[in-house]
Amino acid sequence: MLNSEYLKNLNKAQKEAVTYLDGPLLIVAGAGSGKTKVLTTRIANIIKEKKAYPNQILAVTFTNKAAKEMQIRVSKILGSSATGLSWLGTFHSICAKLLRKHAPAVNLKSNFTIIDTDDQTRLIKNICKAENIDIKQLAPRYILAIIDKWKNKGFYPNEVLINQKDVYEKTILPIYKIYQQKLIDLNSCDFGDLILHAVKILEKNKDLRKIYSTNFKYILVDEYQDTNFIQSRWLKLLSEKNKNICCVGDDDQSIYSWRGAEIKNFLEFDQVYENTKVIRLEENYRSTENILAVASNLIANNENRVGKTLKTTLNEGELVKLNCYKNGKDEAIGISDEIEKIKQEYSYNNITILVRAIFQTREFEERFLKIGLPYRILGGIKFYERAEIKDCIAYLRLVYQEKDDLAFERIVNNPKRSIGDSTIKSIHEFSKRQKDCLEISSRKMIEENLIKPKAKIGLMSFLDLISKWRNDLTIKKMGHVKLLQTILDESGYSAMLKNKKDLENENRLENIKELLSAMKEFDNLESFLDHVSLATSIDQEWEGEKVNMMTMHAAKGLEFDVIFLPGWEEGLFPHQKSIEEKGQSGLEEERRLAYVGLTRAKKKVVVSFSMNRFYQGDWIDSMASRFIDELPDKYLEKNSFFDETKEEIEEFEFNQDIENESGINSPGWIRYQKRIK
């Protein structure tokens, strides 16, 4: 039964966005302004007003979850009328449906398979092997990332124009040609192909394009600021006849350029589609007035934006807290203390720490484990459970004691030493018969010449290194931090991460650097390994409510009562790499990321920075992020560190921390005080 009240629950701008049904429409939907409600109500209204049948509406989202939620909401308004929404789904699901109908046009059969990332990687590895390309130097995942980039730009292999000076692209293009032909031979396509093939079919076949663009009387797109070139091209082709395309999004939340998203799709929408109507949803239903004022003032510093003025329906709320700490450890203590103070008022599940880089979670995890504060890592893996960290720990465990078979098995062929599964199986069988550990069994098998020549060389080299590192530890009394650095260098593990062209390796290296910093806090290897064992065992026992930790990127689309935003320091946030690679556009995207972080909060925000970071075994003198200067003072509550006067500050040597009556002064803190006074 039709819910006739569905328009009454909308504000003026929302109602206009729902009822405007003639021509291109761009809905600039600010954070927490009810964009999903508008989209679903608009679909319902189109059907109710008999402007189109459900199967004449194309509604596109980025996730299956969003598509399902949209379906449910429309059904609540219309009842059974929503069942005919056969073209509601993600870009990939809808393109797959279209492609099944017209597969022969791209040399596929309609029963083609869609291969996943593992299958893609396996195929690339096989191609590299056949073409004598060293995957240690050019990782399959990096090759696939470049191929995906080309597909997102709308290029088949014969259409790619490469930079001849780029040695990687020159090598990858021939691989792309072979890869694409292999997919055709296998009657398969990858996720990038789904949209690329769909676009090529529509571009080459005018009659078919006319059929689809005529059928789709209304097109609706969620999160339009996250679209890439090929997605926007597909939408343009399908809206060719009726022009009734409605795109919803927020340019201030465009944070995925590294994934191919092009903000210009949003900013230039009215140039691509003539006679575009622009409606701004500026009423925020999520955040308090003070939080919104801080976020709006910050994002106003971006030049490339459509622009909007958000206002809240809620009360003033608490001031946004701005805390300065002496160092990262104190920051973790300060935030945990704050959580302890508010835990009666807010559920742990509604408290979230948002970081710029995933390695930042380590100090918080250490602190939370120490005081028994339960937590979860959303969209990521807990620090001591990350593969590269477990590898490092395994090396240290085996050096510490030879009977650690689990550690042995994990690292004996990591990096690759030509010790395959069959060799490891043989060692296991020998070990079982001899009732010895894997390491001793390996040494005996070498003596008895029971290992194949190639594997024998790799195994001997590995065992010699283990003996050498044990000597470094026990005889030479090498410190545990230096020991791990030595292991990483001499094992080839560091070189493996540094040399491999792989998009994830930068994060892995950052995590290892953070591990080295963590180890400095312990007197010896034994105490550190005990700490790690305790950390991982305790971690698994917690159930129920937990404080959330995640990156700001992972928080997009979520909301929580309380948000903590630590590490607002130059180089970390805005991230140095982003500015170096993209200049002003990189800085603006970092600012949009800050905006996203702030607007996840409903009731309480705490921003913090520290004046010193312990990084890679050294104290780094840090400076408060430029974004701190862009936060309006009248909406901020600062901690006691800000009470220092200029007269109380003296000059100290670089990287010194001096205790005095008024607390601790560090060089970074002094520098910041001089800058702000």
Catalytic-labelled residue, pool 190, 223, 365, 590: 223
Residues 6+ apart with CB under 8 A from 622: 569, 570, 571, 572, 609, 610, 611, 612, 613, 668
The closest alpha carbon to 462, from 416, 426, 422, 496, belongs to 416
Q: Please state, as a whole number, how many other Cβ atoms lie within 10 Å of the Cβ of residue 662.
A: 12
Instruction: For 229-297, give the DSSP string.
Output: HHHHHHHHHHTTTT--EEEEE-GGG---GGGT--THHHHTHHHHSTT-EEEEE-EESSS-HHHHHHHHH
How far is Cα 662 from Cα 669, in angstroms, rounded to an integer?
13
Residue with tokens 């029963």: 111
Catalytic residue among 15, 16, 36, 570: 36
Q: Indicate if 222 belongs to the active site.
A: yes
**Tokens representing residue 603 in the block:** 């009731």
DSSP 618: E
Closest alpha carbon to 414 in 458, 449, 470, 452: 458
The answer to whether 390 and 384 have CB atoms below 8 angstroms apart is yes
Q: How far apart are CA 14 and CA 151, in angstroms?
A: 36
36 is catalytic: yes
The string of DSSP codes covering 6-21 is TTTTS-HHHHHHHH--
| 610 closest CA partner among 672, 675, 536, 558 | 672
Contact present, 278 and 270 (Cβ < 8 Å)? yes
* Residue 264 CB-density burial (10 A; 0-12 exposed, 13-18 middle, 19+ buried): middle
Q: How many other CB atoms are found less than 10 A from the CB of residue 258? A: 12
Which of 356, 508, 591, 600 is an active site residue?
600
Cα distances from 202 to residues 98, 101, 157, 240, 369, in angstroms, run: 10, 12, 19, 11, 56
Q: Which residues pair with 138 in a beta bridge?
A: 501
Catalytic annotation on 409? no
Name the one residue in this structure whose structure tokens are 């600021």. 225
Catalytic status, residue 356? no
Active-site entry in 190, 193, 222, 391 = 222
Residue reference for tokens 């950390």: 535
**Alpha carbons 353 and 351: distance in angstroms, whole number:** 7
Q: Is position 584 annotated as part of the catalytic site?
A: no
Q: Which H or E run contains 377?
A: strand 375-377
Please, what is the end-to-end C-alpha distance for the chain in angstroms? 65
Of 61, 71, 180, 253, the catalytic one is 253
DSSP 499: H
State yes or no: is 223 an active-site residue: yes
Catalytic positions are: 35-36, 222-223, 253, 600
